[in-house]
Structure 1
Amino acid sequence: MHRGKGMKFVGDSRVSASRTSQIPKDYSEYPGRTEAFWPNFLLKEWLAGAVFLVGFLILTLAHPSPLGGLADPTNAAFIPLPDWYFLFLYELLKYEFASGQYVLLGMLGIPGLAFGALLLAPFLDNGPGRRPHQRPIAVIMMMLALTATIWLTYTSASHVDWEARAAMDQPVPPASVEIDTSHEGYAVYEANCMSCHGESLEGGAAGPTLVGIEYSAEEIAQIAQEGINTMPADMFKGTPEELELLVQFITSVNEQAAE
């Protein structure tokens, strides 16, 4: 190198001419994009989802869902309903074109086409713009789906007496009395009545509760032998002495509940 004559550089083949950087590419030159999808954007989505999931789990532990009323197979007037977010599908099955011999169309065909169309919306309308007027196909499909869902849900909910259903679907109350399992009549109850009326006389799907009933000892004995309503007459298989013990046990439980 000579002063005033400039500088000369000698290349070395052992040194790479271009080096790949670990820094994500700058997306600021692209409209609507400011960072790389992986790992920047996706990591933020995972963190937000994890926070929501933890919060949801804490909420379910702090406020567990209450048990509804006991199922009564003898109540033919009760109409089961799905949860509110499935009411629009329930209402769809009431129309002639989606019920009867066309029930499969209402159950699988129409919902399958609707949700399939929503899945295809991004591919049918893949324009670069993000404003609603720049995405006419996707916006129209979404508005049709939203309008149909709201209308069907509203129509189905308007036909339901929600106050009556709330009264029928009260949570199962905890046992208000302590059952004396050492009572001689409890063994008789266990052999003859427990399968229908529950371990603590709280009732079940096949029989009502025996706590808080307003029957005398004679009426309880008569019901045990002759039945009542849907209870057949041959449920009790014990002796007269065992029947007396059973009546004493049920009466003692109701006396305790009345205190």
Structure 2
Amino acid sequence: MHRGKGMKFVGDSRIPAERKPNIPKDYSEYPGKTEAFWPNFLLKEWLVGAVFLIGFLVLTVVHAPPLERMADPTDTGYIPLPDWYFLFLYQLLKYEFAAGSYTVVGAMIMPGIAFGALLLAPFLDSGPERRPYRRPVAVGMMILAVGAAIYLTWESVATHDWEAAAKQGEIKKEAEIDTSAEEYKIYQEQTCISCHGDNMQGGAAGPSLVDNGLPPEEIAKIAVEGKGNMPKGIFKGSDEELEKLSKYLSEVKSK
């Protein structure tokens, strides 16, 4: 095909000779119109998400998680504490009208009514008015709910024994225990395991025996005469067994 005056050869008449870049319109010039989902809207969402993700990653690296010791089902004195966003419900269960025989009221009925009202709010308050002072019922209920949650959270934090919580959650040292040793069998037979644990890590009833730093003589004296929560005469074995056990416990070291 010969090139004519004013003609451009493109090979296919269905393809325009000059292709314009596919640039989305600036919808700010069109009031009432929305912007293009791709890439305008989606790109902004990705940028905001990336900022939060990077901030979260930095927080996890800088601030170590507050890990506690391994859970002990025999420790009945452990004081649990939920995450901060459940503290208001945790505090609610401490009141007489929501505790004891009325736990169902505080754990299910009251929160159920509150969250149910929140879900039904768009249907119960469907008027066109958006000014807060012209919606006194809805605004008043929301202020009451937010105020109650803030107060209960504050009271829970203020009344919690943080010193005891830090002590009870302290990660205790572990030791490699030879459970086949003769001394360990004496430890089991004398029911020491019920208070000090199978790995001598201690518990609610007795302290840890790992790295105790006590000489065998002192350990033998405590086993016979008792100390603190340990009653007198709890050891029922022979003098030879007491000597072996005392020496064994004095040598228990952490990993």
TM-score under structure 1 length normalisation: 0.59
Letter in 1 for 2:108: L
Which residue of structure 2 aligns with residue 18 of structure 1?
Answer: none
Question: How far apart are residue 111 of structure 1 and its match?
Answer: 0.7
Residue pair 1:227, 1:234 contacting (<8 A) in 2 also: yes
Q: 1:233 to 1:64 in 2, by over 3 A?
A: farther
Identity of aligned residues (%): 49
2:73, 2:219 → 1: CA distance? 22
Q: How many residues align?
A: 224
| Residue of structure 2 in register with 1:208 after alignment | 207
> SS at the partner of 2:35?
coil
Q: Relative to structure 1, is the Cα distance of residues 108 and 72 closer, same or farther in structure 2, using a 3 angstrom cutoff?
A: closer
Give the residue type in structure 1 aligned to 2:216: A
CA contact (8 A) 2:212 2:250 kept: no
Q: Is the 8 A contact 1:68 1:171 kept in 2?
A: yes
Give ranges in structure 2 of 5+ residues lacking alignment.
1-21
- Closer, same or farther: CA 190–39 of 1 in aligned 2, 3 Å: farther
Compared CA separation, residues 101 and 69, structure 1 to 2 (3 A): same
Closer/same/farther in 2, CA of residues 122 and 103 from structure 1, 3 Å limit: same
Distance 1:81 1:166, change over 3 A: closer
Which residue of 1 is the match for residue 151 of structure 2?
151
Cα distance in 1 between the residues matched to 2:111 and 2:126: 24
Distance 1:62-1:222 versus aligned 2 partners, 3 A rule: same
CA distance change for structure 1 residues 133 and 38 in 2, over 3 Å: closer, same or farther?
Answer: farther
Residue range with higher mean Cα deviation, 126-135 or 242-251: 126-135
Q: Deviations over 1:180-227 (max 9, x none)?
A: 879xx993454436954464x543466421245475423423555787
Please name the residue that 1:217 is paired with: 216
Decide whether aligned partners of structure 1 residues 246 and 100 sit closer, same or farther in structure 2, where only a CA change above 3 A counts.
closer
The secondary structure found in structure 2 opposite 1:210 is: coil
The answer to whether the aligner puts 1:89 opposite 2:89 as a matched pair is yes
Alignment CA distance shift 1:37-1:56 (3 Å)? same
CA contact (8 A) 2:79 2:165 kept: no
Asked if structure 2 preserves the Cα contact closer than 8 Å seen for 1:197 and 1:208, the reply is: no
Q: Which of 29, 32, 54 is the aligned partner of 2:31?
A: 29
Q: 2: distance between equivalents of 1:38 and 1:142?
A: 37
Corresponding residue of 1:107: 107
SS of equivalent to 1:209:
coil
> Is the CA contact 2:82–2:90 (under 8 Å) kept in the aligned structure 1?
yes
Superposed displacement of residue 151, structure 1: 2.0
Distance (Å, rounded) in 1 between the aligned partners of 2:51 and 2:114? 32
1:219-258 correspondence runs (5 A): 219-224=218-223, 229=229, 243-253=242-252
**CA-to-partner distance for each residue in 1:7-35, whole Å, 9 max, x for gaps?**
xxxxxxxxxxxxxx9968948523xx753
The equivalent residue for 2:170 is 171
In the alignment, which residue of structure 2 is the partner of 1:12? none
- What CA distance in whole angstroms lies between the structure 2 residues aligned with 1:142 and 1:39? 37
Please report the RMSD computed on the Cα atoms of aligned residues, expressed in angstroms: 4.7
Relative to structure 1, is the Cα distance of residues 61 and 233 closer, same or farther in structure 2, using a 3 angstrom cutoff?
Answer: farther
Aligned partner of 2:18 in structure 1 is none
Distance 1:89 1:180 in 2: 41
Letter of the aligned partner of 1:244 in structure 2? E
Alpha-carbon distance change, 181 to 157 in structure 1, aligned in 2, over 3 angstroms:
closer
Aligned to 1:187: 181
Deviations 1:138-159 (A, max 9, x none): 4333212111111222333343
| Contact in 2 for aligned 1:25/1:35 (Cα 8 Å) | yes
Partners of 1:134 and 1:47 in 2: CA distance:
37
Q: 1:106 to 1:216 in 2, by over 3 A?
A: same
**TM-score for both structures, normalised by structure 2:** 0.59
The answer to whether the Cα contact below 8 Å between 2:88 and 2:153 also exists between their aligned partners in 1 is yes
Residue of structure 2 equivalent to 1:3: none
Cα offset, 1:45, TM superposition: 3.8
The answer to whether the 8 A contact 1:93-1:103 is kept is yes
Q: Which moved more, 1:98-107 or 1:39-48?
A: 39-48
Report deviation, 1:132.
3.5
Q: Which amino acid aligns with 2:246?
A: V
The alpha-carbon deviation at position 136 of structure 1 amounts to 4.8
